[in-house]
Homo-oligomer: A and B are copies of this chain.
Amino acid sequence: MEEPRKRARPGRAPAPPGGRTSRPRQAEVAGLAGVSQATVSLVLGGKKQGVAISAETRQKVLEAAHRLGYVPDPAARRLAAARNDLLGVFSFTATFPTDVRHSYYPFLVGVEREAAARGYDLVLFTGSSSGGAGAGGPEALSRVRLADGCLFLGRHVPTEELRRLVTDGFPVVHVGRRDELEGLAWVGADYVSASHEVVTRLAALGHRRLVLVREDDEAPASTDREHGFLKGLESAGLPAGPEAVFRTAAPESTLTPERLRRWLDEGVTALVAEETDTGGPWRALRAAVREAGLDCPGELSLALLGSPPADLAAEAVPTGFDIPRPQLGAAAVRLLAALVAGEDAEEPLVVCAFRPGATAGPPPHRP
């Protein structure tokens, strides 16, 4: 007696309206190939070790799978304690922000390339929205467990939710240094070294008094830059007191042409801005220099610890460094892949290349 191969689902939700044929399952492949479902699993699962399958059977299975367009169900794979070759990408803000100033795009370029190279597909968890799946509940982050592991972008990822994933042993990589959460893996740009080098270069040009302009928060990216900046000053034997750092919550209003002139009068010959999401400090700096009618780099050298905002791309290339965002993305994927495979973490810092630019030169001669 043959069992009915395809009895109607007993008492379950009705088949999808529209008479759609459902995704083929291993059982159907098995039927078509004349083998058992387990055999199909063995063949398609690509398990190299131990079990051997006759070439003939394997061929039949592969053929049937192809004919049916079989593709494994990722949820079922996960559930069966296997892997589904899916890596998650979760950003608390939109992954594709409309505000292009602050875009993950270059980063995603690297993520996609590296993931593809390693045979992973990417799942974008739309966590930002207020819609159905992404509703703000504590379960919002939990959806990522569908994937083998997940990348987190942005500084606003809720710590508690993240901690839960980490303590559960779910492979997680945060993009950007994040030390407050014990055991959280992260990758980041080496802002310290890069900022250090910028100062070194400026010093080599002859600058003796530099000021760093930064926003007034405690983001790791900011403190790292300041740290590197100060270390750079020390290495060059330059004054690294508190007056070398200008903190402001509102660069555009406090960074006036007058402020600029005062610095010049005090002997400052180079100003260094940190990069932020909005490009605030750099924007303000450029504006102030313009208003003050100063020649850059003739009368004053400028440097930017990062890349300029997209809308300022047409201006003179700032001296500073480039964050290799694609490489950063690739590094994040490599680390995540390592975690998924149960391997150990690798170097989390990627180095930033110095960018000579055109906004810094020798300091002016001052009598």
Instruction: Point out residues on A near B: beta carbons under 8 Å.
Output: 12-13, 16-23, 66, 69, 71-76, 78-79, 81-82, 84-86, 94-98, 103, 105, 108-109, 111-113, 115-134, 138-139, 142-146, 164-165, 167-171, 314, 326, 341-343
- Asked if A143 and B116 make an inter-chain contact with CB atoms under 8 angstroms apart, the answer reads no
- Asked if B69 and A73 make an inter-chain contact with CB atoms under 8 angstroms apart, the answer reads no
Bound CA–CA A145/B97 (angstroms): 28
List the B residue with the shortest CB-CB distance to A123. B123
- Residues from chain B with Cβ under 8 Å of A76 in the complex: 75, 79
Contacts A81-B13, A145-B69, A164-B69 given; does A126 touch B115 at CB 8 Å? yes
List the B residue with the shortest CB-CB distance to A314. B314
- Asked if A74 and B118 make an inter-chain contact with CB atoms under 8 angstroms apart, the answer reads no
How many whole Å from A146's CB to the nearest CB in chain B?
4
Bound CA–CA A128/B103 (angstroms): 22
- Asked if B96 and A108 make an inter-chain contact with CB atoms under 8 angstroms apart, the answer reads yes
- Residues from chain B with Cβ under 8 Å of A131 in the complex: 115-120
- Residues from chain B with Cβ under 8 Å of A123 in the complex: 86, 121-124
- Asked if B98 and A116 make an inter-chain contact with CB atoms under 8 angstroms apart, the answer reads no
- Asked if A121 and B117 make an inter-chain contact with CB atoms under 8 angstroms apart, the answer reads no
- Residues from chain B with Cβ under 8 Å of A128 in the complex: 116
Q: Which of B121, B144, B145, B167 contacts A124 (CB 8 A)?
A: B121
- Asked if B16 and A342 make an inter-chain contact with CB atoms under 8 angstroms apart, the answer reads yes
- Asked if B109 and A105 make an inter-chain contact with CB atoms under 8 angstroms apart, the answer reads no
Q: Would you call the interface of chain A mostly helix, strand, loop, or mixed? A: loop
17 interchain pairs, CB-CB under 8 A: A12-B81, A12-B82, A13-B81, A20-B171, A21-B168, A71-B138, A73-B145, A74-B144, A75-B75, A75-B79, A78-B146, A94-B109, A96-B111, A116-B133, A120-B131, A120-B133, A122-B123
- Residues from chain B with Cβ under 8 Å of A85 in the complex: 132-133
- Residues from chain B with Cβ under 8 Å of A19 in the complex: 169
- Residues from chain B with Cβ under 8 Å of A164 in the complex: 69, 71
Q: Which of B115, B143, B341 contacts A74 (CB 8 A)?
A: B143
List the B residue with the shortest CB-CB distance to A95. B112
How many whole Å from A278's CB to the nearest CB in chain B?
19
- Asked if B116 and A21 make an inter-chain contact with CB atoms under 8 angstroms apart, the answer reads no
Taking A112-B124, A122-B124 as known contacts, 10 extra A-B pairs with beta carbons closer than 8 A to each other, sorted by chain A number, are A12-B81, A13-B81, A69-B164, A71-B144, A71-B145, A73-B145, A74-B143, A74-B144, A75-B79, A116-B129
Q: Which of B113, B120, B126 contacts A112 (CB 8 A)?
A: B126
Bound CA–CA A175/B133 (angstroms): 24
Bound CA–CA A144/B72 (angstroms): 10
- 10 nearest CB pairs, A to B: A20-B169, A119-B132, A116-B129, A119-B131, A17-B342, A116-B126, A18-B342, A119-B133, A75-B78, A117-B131
Bound CA–CA A263/B82 (angstroms): 67
- Residues from chain B with Cβ under 8 Å of A343 in the complex: 17
- Residues from chain B with Cβ under 8 Å of A74 in the complex: 75, 84, 86, 142-146
How many whole Å from A144's CB to the nearest CB in chain B?
8
- Residues from chain B with Cβ under 8 Å of A108 in the complex: 96
- Residues from chain B with Cβ under 8 Å of A167 in the complex: 21
List the B residue with the shortest CB-CB distance to A94. B112
Bound CA–CA A21/B128 (angstroms): 28
